[in-house]
Amino acid sequence: MFIDALSAVASPNVSMSVGPAQPASGAAEAPSFEQALGQALGAAVDTLQAGEAAAIQGVESAAAPTKVVEAVMDAQRSLQSVLAVRDKIVSAWQDVARMAI
């Protein structure tokens, strides 16, 4: 399922860094891009899972229709955000690949 694929990407044991590992420092520093992207993906996965759970509860008549609609709309917004970020990353990668050396 798509949510499982996103969970694999957002899992903390997957490293997206290319350069040498940076030592962890104090709380005074802002999170790295990798950490911020991981947190955003984690939040998106959580929202998608909540939407899926609400949809299942709605089918079983265990949740109010308004709660189901709100959860599914939140999941849709999260998915659209993730897809927009993915499209920007792919576009940036294509620009880098086309650069003359």
How many C-beta neighbours within 10 Å does residue 100 have? 3
| Domain total in the chain | 1
Tokens of 78: 């999260």
Query: Is 40 inside any structural domain?
Result: yes
Domain of 66 in residue numbering reads as: 2-9+32-98
pTM beyond cutoff 0.85: no
What is the C-alpha separation between 83 and 80, in angstroms, rounded?
5
Query: Is 51 inside any structural domain?
Result: yes
Query: Is 75 inside any structural domain?
Result: yes
Query: Is 20 inside any structural domain?
Result: no
Query: Is 86 inside any structural domain?
Result: yes
What is the C-alpha separation between 69 and 57, in angstroms, rounded?
11
Q: What is the pLDDT of residues 50-94, one digit of tens each?
A: 999 999 999 998 989 999 999 999 999 999 999 999 999 999 999
Helix (H, G, I), strand (E, B) or coil at 69: helix
Query: Is 15 inside any structural domain?
Result: no
Query: Is 14 inside any structural domain?
Result: no
Helix (H, G, I), strand (E, B) or coil at 17: coil
